[in-house]
């Protein structure tokens, strides 16, 4: 490997893992997923569907179905990390080229920056609510111009942001330990919150008796499927980010069996249980307060007692571990891959943290519609095609075989033309473009309200369409390529 190739394609963080580094067993992966699942954004998925009009059962099943679907690309792409020991940003070089891989790396990294900002905002809100409970009054403070948030919220956000940077320096081992030890505590807090909800609502009967808004005579009669399909796409998009960079974790797996069993145990059952807890609690707030409270931090602020304080403390700690594991790790590797000689894992983490501030995440969480149908569904339209290309390349074209050494060589088989694989770029464009009109009409209905219903209907299946088109296009274009 030449010095130039080493400078542009390799550093210690991106290098393949050796046998001594592959220590993660199945229970580490299961605990990692439980730790990431039992978090406020996961809770908001199902509770947000309640606010959109679904019944408790419909919301829980929609979340479960989405996670059963996304488990497939998680295992398929994760296989490459466990077998070859390379992170996502390096794996993408096999299909996009040694330089072209920067495109999917940046796409995944920017989405992670958005999620990092969202999680940091949630953690800051939990911290501010905790302090407000202790002080006996709200600490939001006067609104800051331009930002449109209270000065107390701004300071809590900044504090929580700074605390997380400490853990960036500790690496994945610390995150694995934190997730492993805190996972049982998070589950206990969820059980306590459900126990409170059922008791306060007078049992499960009133909670599950509430029909959806789509039944005859309901506020959204006959509109169930119009809400279900984009919601299902959003549920897939929620973990569609991890479906891409899961090799960042599976590269540390002791065996292929460990990553498969650990993920299968951790993800669908875990998301099913958190969805059930969420819909029970959110439906209970309709019975108790007369309206749905989809944010558990806001709900905790309406309660009192030591359990509330414990819950908010756990939410705060949980958000740190979940945010770093689910968002910062992948983005740090991705930014590092852009210039390995100059950007280390830690520097990539700092870049992620800074961009997470600039996006002003509180605006993404302003409404459930914006959170689910613009943010989640929108980026699924971007990441679905990348997943399709990775799966087609690794499983259909290369039959799981990779020349790992060439992934780090500028003159190897993955250099293509000047480091770019034009076929992958074309497949990516074909996967993304059909969903672009629907996204614009949904995100910016004012200037793009003229876009027809056909495109918005297509957008409801954004992840599926993008993955299918990119996968089949890439497989067709590369059908004669091998190795």
Q: Residue by residue, what is the 3-state secondary structure of 93-141?
A: HHHHCCCCCHHHHHHHHHHHHHHHHHHHHHHHHHHHHHHHHHHCCCCCC
This prediction has a pTM of: 0.85
Helix (H) or strand (E) holding 269: helix 268-289
> Quick one: how far is CA 123 from the chain centroid?
16
**pLDDT value at residue 183:** 64
How far, CA to CA in Å, does 339 sit from each of 30, 102, 232, 243, 334?
A: 33, 10, 36, 24, 10
Report the pLDDT value the prediction gives residue 416, as an integer from 0 to 100. Answer: 95
Cα four-point dihedral sign 163, 241, 379, 312: negative
How many Cα atoms sit within 13 Å of 70 on the Cβ side? Answer: 30
**Separation CA 365–CA 295 (nearest Å):** 10
CA dist 287 and 282 (Å) reads 9
How far apart, in whole angstroms, are the C-alpha atoms of residue 100 and residue 201? Answer: 55
Got the DSSP string for 152-180?
Answer: HHHHHHHHHHHHHHHHHTTHHHHHHHHHH
Q: What does residue 287 show for φ and ψ, rounded to 5 degrees?
A: -70, -40
Residues 429 and 435 sit within 8 Å (Cβ to Cβ) = no
Question: Between 256-266 and 26-37, two packed helices, what is the crossing angle to 10 degrees?
Answer: 30
Cα distance between residue 460 and residue 230, in whole Å? 4
Q: Tell which residue, 52, 38, 9, 360, has the closest CA to residue 229.
A: 52
Q: Three-class SS string for 314-381?
A: HHHHHHHHHHHHHHHHHHHHHHHHHCCCCCCHHHHHHHHHHHHHHCCHHHCCCCHHHHHHHHHHHHHH
pLDDT at residue 4, as a whole number: 45
Separation of alpha carbons 19 and 463, rounded Å: 36
* DSSP state, residue 398: S
Which residues, in sequence order, are CB contacts of 438 under 8 Å at separation 6+? 451, 455, 456, 457, 458, 459, 460, 462
What SS3 state is found at 453? helix
Q: Which residues have CB under 8 Å from 25's CB, separation 6+?
A: 254, 258, 262
Maximum Cα–Cα distance for the chain, whole Å?
A: 71
Range list of H helices, 2-101: 3-9, 26-37, 40-51, 56-84, 88-91, 93-96
pLDDT of residue 458: 93
pLDDT of residue 181: 66
3-state SS class at 253: strand
pLDDT score recorded for residue 87: 93
Burial class (CB in 10 A: 0-12, 13-18, 19+), 437: middle
Is the separation of the CB atoms in 55 and 211 below 8 Å?
yes
- pLDDT < 70: residue spans in the chain: 1-7, 167-183, 186, 205, 207, 294, 301, 303-312, 314-316, 367-369, 372-373, 481-483
Considering Cα of 34, then 37, then 43, then 46, what sign does the dihedral take?
negative
3-class SS of residue 214: coil
Residue 364 CA neighbour count, 13 Å, CB half? 28
């Amino acid at each position: 490997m030449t010095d130039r190739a080493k400078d542009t394609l390799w550093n210690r963080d991106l290098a393949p893992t050796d046998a001594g580094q592959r220590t993660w067993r199945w229970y580490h992966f299961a605990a990692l997923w439980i730790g990431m699942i039992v978090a406020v954004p996961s809770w908001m998925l199902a509770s947000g569907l309640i606010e959109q009009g679904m019944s408790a059962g419909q919301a829980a099943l929609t979340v479960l179905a989405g996670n059963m679907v996304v488990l497939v690309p998680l295992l398929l792409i994760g296989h490459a990390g466990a077998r070859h020991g390379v992170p996502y940003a390096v794996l993408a070089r096999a299909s996009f080229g040694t330089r072209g891989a920067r495109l999917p790396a940046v796409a995944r990294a920017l989405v992670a920056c958005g999620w990092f900002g969202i999680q940091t905002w949630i953690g800051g809100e939990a911290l501010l609510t905790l302090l407000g409970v202790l002080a006996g009054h709200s600490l939001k403070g006067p609104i800051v111009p331009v930002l449109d948030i209270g000065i107390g919220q701004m300071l809590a956000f900044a504090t929580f942001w700074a605390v997380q940077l400490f853990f960036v320096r500790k690496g994945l081992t610390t995150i694995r330990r934190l997730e492993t030890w805190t996972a049982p505590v998070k589950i206990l807090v969820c059980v306590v919150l459900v126990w409170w909800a059922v008791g306060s609502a007078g049992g499960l009967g009133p909670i599950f008796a509430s029909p959806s808004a789509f039944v005859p005579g309901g506020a959204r009669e006959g509109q169930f499927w119009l809400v279900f399909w984009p919601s299902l796409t959003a549920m897939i998009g929620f973990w569609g980010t991890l479906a891409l960079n899961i090799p960042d974790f599976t590269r540390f797996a002791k065996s292929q069996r460990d990553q498969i069993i650990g993920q299968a145990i951790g993800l669908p059952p875990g998301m099913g249980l958190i969805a059930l807890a969420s819909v029970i609690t959110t439906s209970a707030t309709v019975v108790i307060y007369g309206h749905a409270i989809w944010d558990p931090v806001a709900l905790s602020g309406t309660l009192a007692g030591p359990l509330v304080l414990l819950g908010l403390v756990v939410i705060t700690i949980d958000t740190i571990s979940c945010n770093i594991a689910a968002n910062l790790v992948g983005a740090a590797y991705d930014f590092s891959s852009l210039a390995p000689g100059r950007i280390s894992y830690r520097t990539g983490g700092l870049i992620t943290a800074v961009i997470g501030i600039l996006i002003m995440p509180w605006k993404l969480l302003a409404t459930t519609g914006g959170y689910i149908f613009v943010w989640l569904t929108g980026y699924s339209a971007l990441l679905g095609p990348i997943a399709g290309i990775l799966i087609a390349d690794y499983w259909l074209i290369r039959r799981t075989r990779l020349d790992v050494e060439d992934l780090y060589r500028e003159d190897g088989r993955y250099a293509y033309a000047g480091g770019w694989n034009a076929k992958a770029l074309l497949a990516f464009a074909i996967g993304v473009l059909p969903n672009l009109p629907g996204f614009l009409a949904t995100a910016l209905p004012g200037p793009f309200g003229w876009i027809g219903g056909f495109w918005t209907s297509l957008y409801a299946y954004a992840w599926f369409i993008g993955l299918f088109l990119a996968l089949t296009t890439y497989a067709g274009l590369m059908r004669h390529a091998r190795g």
